[in-house]
Amino acid sequence: MEDVLKVSHLNVYYKQYAKSLFKKPTVFHAVKDVSFSVGEGEILGLLGESGCGKSTVAKAVLGMLPQVDGTIEHFSKNPQMVFQDPFHSLNPARSVGQILKEPLRNLTDLSKEAQEEKAVSMIKRVGLDEKYLSHYPKELSGGQRQRVAIAAALMLEPKLLIADEPVSALDVTIQAQIIDLMLKLRDEMKLSMIFISHDLRVVYQMCDRIVIMKEGMIVEEGRVEDVYVNPSHPYTKTLIEAANLKV
């Protein structure tokens, strides 16, 4: 299996401004020496409590942070991201069609007709009717919005998709639908994913391998079944006990 992403010894520091004039600014070490890789067609779960540096890793991988230490190697073009809250990740002033065609317009030289065609086929692929192309995000429900966000991320046919808690803002029934959709798209498009979550059940359903983070460090890594049955780190044990999972 070939890798689509290889991250080695990633360190991210945030500068925190001093609260008082007489104190020095402090540096917050958000991600500490994190290394992992994502194979082709693999879904890697990134698990941990809030504030443990999961999203920071995602941002670093996508080049959204100005300065990071360590190496991030991409073996595919245009990695994309699905954000947590579909109420913020879709521009309220643009129609669904415009949102879907935006990456094609900017990064490919397809004709208007070809763009339209691709948008229609993609929106059907994520399970929405093509009439929604002319709708605005505020006319859609949360689940529909997240489908649009996934469609927009897949327009360029990326090999790597980073999903930052894509279902945690949705109802449980909608969660299941979106998870099924993502699994289906993974198989159809041979996608690799980094699936960020704090929900052990969802991760168990979705992922092949998981990485568990605590306070910016990786504390455990392995195949989902192995980690869930045989957690080695005490933090993982408490996590799994707290979730009360029957594996």
Partner 1 sequence: MKKKNWNLILGTVITSIMLLLIVVGFFFTPYDSQQMNIDLKLASPSLAHPLGCDHFGRDILSRVMEGAGTTFFVAIGTVLLGCVIGIIMGAVTGYFGGILDEILMRLNDALFAFPSILLALVFISLFGSGKYNVILALGIAFVPSFARIVRSEFLRCKSLDYVRAARLAGASHLRIMFVHILPNILPVLLSSLMIGFNNAVLAEASMSYLGIGVQPPDSSLGMMLSEAQTYLFRAPWYVLAPGVAIVLLILGFALLAESINKKK
Q: Which is nearer to partner 1, 53 or 86 (CB)?
A: 86
Considering the complex, what minimum distance in angstroms separates the CB of residue 203 from partner 1?
22
Cα 178 from Cα 106, distance rounded (Å): 27
Instruction: Decide whether 141 or 230 has the Cβ nearer to partner 1.
Output: 141
Token pair recorded at residue 172:
């449980």
190 CB neighbour count, 10 Å cutoff: 12
Tell me if 147 sits within 8 A of 130, measured CB to CB: no
Smallest distance from the beta carbon of 65 to partner 1, in angstroms? 12
Rounded distance between C-alpha atoms, residue 129 and residue 122, angstroms: 10
Residue 92 C-beta-side C-alpha neighbours within 13 Å: 4
Shortest Cβ 226–partner 1 spacing (Å): 33
Residue (45 or 158) nearer to partner 1, CB:
158
Least separation in angstroms between residue 22's CB and partner 1 is: 23
The separation between CA 96 and the C-alpha centre of its own chain, rounded to angstroms, equals 21
Q: Which is nearer to partner 1, 46 or 219 (CB)?
A: 46
CB of 104 to partner 1, least distance (A): 9
The whole-angstrom separation of Cα 46 and Cα 199 is 10
Residue ranges binding partner 1 (CB under 8 A): 62, 64, 78-81, 83-85, 88-94, 102-103, 106-107, 149, 152-153, 155
**120 versus 169: smaller Cβ distance to partner 1:** 169
Q: Where are the alpha helices (DSSP H) in 138-233?
A: 142-154, 172-189, 200-206, 224-229
